[in-house]
């Protein structure tokens, strides 16, 4: 993808009669603008990381990666230790799930943001499956508003089997 952009602009500039140095300055600035607008650089995304589908999530999964759009800010509260906890509902093409984010990373997330979550884990609370962004986890905004998604199934709907498993452990 990036190589195609490079060759397109290189040919464009050379056909207009610009020198190579002018093109080099343009392309470096293009990369800076691309990083600023998109909120990430293509080089910083490891495409080898497996992206999980929301519908495939189960309790006690770890080191999972997700891409989804924030469709709702469910709740926000402070713990007695003064930690800011935010619960978001995200969606992809396969379903929705609640995501719990502690402290600063959650303050920047808004409805409509398309986010990449890396190194997350799943757990249940009161029978509801939830994704947690742990200490080693990372959330990155990679876009906004334009992502196809479905609102069903909601993987965070209370599931009696999760409640029974929690009681037996």
Q: What is the pLDDT of residue 166?
A: 57
Q: What is the pLDDT of residue 117?
A: 92
Computed over every residue of the chain, the mean pLDDT equals 76
Closest CA relative to residue 88, chosen from 107, 71, 112: 71
Q: What is the pLDDT of residue 121?
A: 95
| Residue range 106-153, pLDDT digits in tens | 777 888 889 999 999 999 988 899 999 888 888 888 887 788 888 989
| DSSP 8-state secondary structure symbol assigned to residue 93 | S
Superfamily covering domain 54-168: Nucleic acid-binding proteins (2.40.50.140)
Average of per-residue pLDDT across 150-157: 91
Domain limits, the chain: 2-44, 54-168
Residue 69 has pLDDT above 60, yes or no: yes
Q: What is the pLDDT of residue 34?
A: 46
Q: Residue 168: how many CB atoms within 10 A of its CB?
A: 6
Q: Is the Cβ–Cβ distance between 150 and 94 less than 8 Å?
A: yes
- Higher pLDDT pick, 64 / 109: 64
Residues present in the chain in total: 169
| Residue range 5-62, pLDDT digits in tens | 555 655 665 566 655 544 454 444 454 444 444 444 434 445 457 888 999 999 999 9
Average of per-residue pLDDT across 89-109: 87
């Amino acid at each position: 993808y990036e190589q195609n952009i490079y060759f397109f602009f290189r040919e464009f500039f050379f056909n207009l009669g610009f020198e190579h140095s002018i093109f080099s300055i343009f392309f470096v600035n293009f990369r800076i603008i691309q990083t600023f607008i998109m909120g990430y650089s293509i080089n910083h995304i490891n495409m080898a990381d497996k992206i999980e589908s929301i519908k495939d999530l189960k309790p006690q999964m770890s080191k999972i990666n997700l891409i989804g759009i924030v469709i709702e800010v469910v709740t926000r509260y402070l713990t007695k230790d003064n930690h800011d906890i935010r619960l978001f509902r995200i969606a992809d093409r396969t379903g929705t799930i609640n995501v719990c984010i502690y402290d600063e990373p959650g303050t920047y997330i808004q409805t409509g943001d398309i986010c990449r979550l890396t190194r997350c884990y799943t757990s249940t609370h009161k029978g509801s499956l939830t994704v947690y962004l742990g200490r080693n986890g990372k959330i990155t905004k990679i876009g906004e508003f334009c992502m196809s998604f479905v609102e069903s199934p909601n993987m965070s709907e209370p599931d009696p089997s999760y409640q029974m498993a929690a009681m037996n452990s």
